[in-house]
Structure 1
Amino acid sequence: MKQPSERNAFMTTNAARRRTNLNKKRRVILFAVIFILITLFATRPTEANYESWLAKKHGIECVYSPTDGRVCSKEDEALDWRSRAMTHAFFHTAVRDRYSTESGHEIEIKAVGFLKLVFDRTESQAI
């Protein structure tokens, strides 16, 4: 049978080993969370990603002209660009674009993006 001093030494060593294992687990979890956050931040969509998505999804293409400003068109119809609100949060980008057609229709595009992907949040509109 173990002496009390041996038992205390064993329990102390065992408790220290458990604490060390717990600290290693916490460190691994912390590094994993930091890695995920850095990845989300680094893969946040840019304005160029949004412009490309806008052309593919809605057929709206815009070019910048020094004399005319932003010139946009959709299926050979000129659009009057009204405004753009682009919010860059830590790991995502939110965009709201407003256009008007020559016939007077208003077009509002809402989108949110993360991981270099852009997702449409626009309600259905009859144009």
Structure 2
Amino acid sequence: MFTGTCIVYVIVVLGVISRACGVGLFPLMRYLKAELLVALSTCSSEAVLPQLVRKLEDLGVGKPVVGIVIPSGFSFNLDGSAVYLTMASLFLAQAARTTTGPVGPLGRPLTDEFTGLVRSMN
């Protein structure tokens, strides 16, 4: 189900956006094939950031735009991962029926959320 949702999102949502911008989605994906494969296989886009910046500049995207958008997207991705890990740890704690600790019922969730936010900062 998740994979199907991702495929529909890429084809429909990104397809509409790329068509509105005058860019073909599949030609762009072919152009960025190596970067997409590395990011997918390593589960991290950090390894391909320099190549992605260079390729986007070669396509004509302005250097200031690439310099803001690509690093910002990477940082937001880290924040999303930190929130996901925090929610997953809270789910596991509830499933295992662990105690919340001496601070009360909000102590554990707040500690986990704070830890997750600190982890996401570079």
Between structures 1 and 2, the one with greater helix share = 2
Q: Flag the structure with larger Rg.
A: 1
TM-score by length of 1: 0.30
Whose relative contact order is higher, 1 or 2, with alpha carbons under 8 Å and at least 6 apart?
A: 1
TM-score by length of 2: 0.31
Between structures 1 and 2, the one with greater strand share = 1
